Homo-oligomer: A and B are copies of this chain.
Amino acid sequence: MAADLALYGYWRSSAAYRVRIALNLKGLAYETRPVHLLRDGGEQHAPAYRALSPLELIPCLIDGEQTVTQSVAIMEYLEETRPLPALLPSDAAGRARVRALALTLACDVHPLGNLRVLQYLESQLGADETARGKWSRHWMGVGFNALETMLAGSTATGRFCHGDTPGLADACLVPQFYNALRWKLPLDAYPTIRRIYEACQGLDAFQQAAPEAQPDAPAATPT
């Protein structure tokens, strides 16, 4: 079954990065189908890709005849169709906690700093690079403040976001931390987030999902 999996993504997209982590944690082989977000006005807007994902956003998972969009929906789908190793705990309270951590990033942080939003801020509201950087850091900071409190304040937090097994929340945390480094968000206030990020980075599943490890990453990473 795994041989039928293909992931449309882009090396530096956080949302695609999440799904790559989830696929790797589950030990699933998949074909990488790059969608270049900047070339030719954005390949995600081309009719061929729009037919898969009408929202013209990546990632998109192909599983045989099945097409799944939305990174969190894709991870839930993988969890339901390939349950082990699990990305969610088995108890409802734990599952709710992990989903809340994941959605804090997937709903309330990442979409605000997405490429299409930064393009709008520039073209429609005249926000220059400084203003766009401030915007990105603002929403990451608000989200990380909350996430640090949620993680540091709970006995459910272990080596990873929930206990000692990496899962769905970690798959969202690492790409956002990567973004925070890229945008130079000051990180001193987030020791728990950083500790979990570093624990994740020690695992093959995360290393192999890293943007720079993707076949479509440029040889020398642009800033």
- Which A residues fall within an 8 A CB radius of B? 53-57, 66, 68-70, 72-74, 76-77, 80-81, 92-93, 95-97, 99-100, 102-104, 106-108, 110-112, 116-117, 120-121, 124-125, 127, 131, 134-135, 138, 142-143, 145-147, 149-150, 153
Contact = CB atoms under 8 A, between A and B. Distances in A.
A162 to B, nearest CB: 13
A131 B138 contact: no
Contacts of A74: 96
Which DSSP category, helix, strand, loop or mixed, fits chain A's interface?
Answer: helix
A95 B120 contact: no
Nearest to A57: B108
Contacts of A135: 120, 124-125
A92 B80 contact: yes
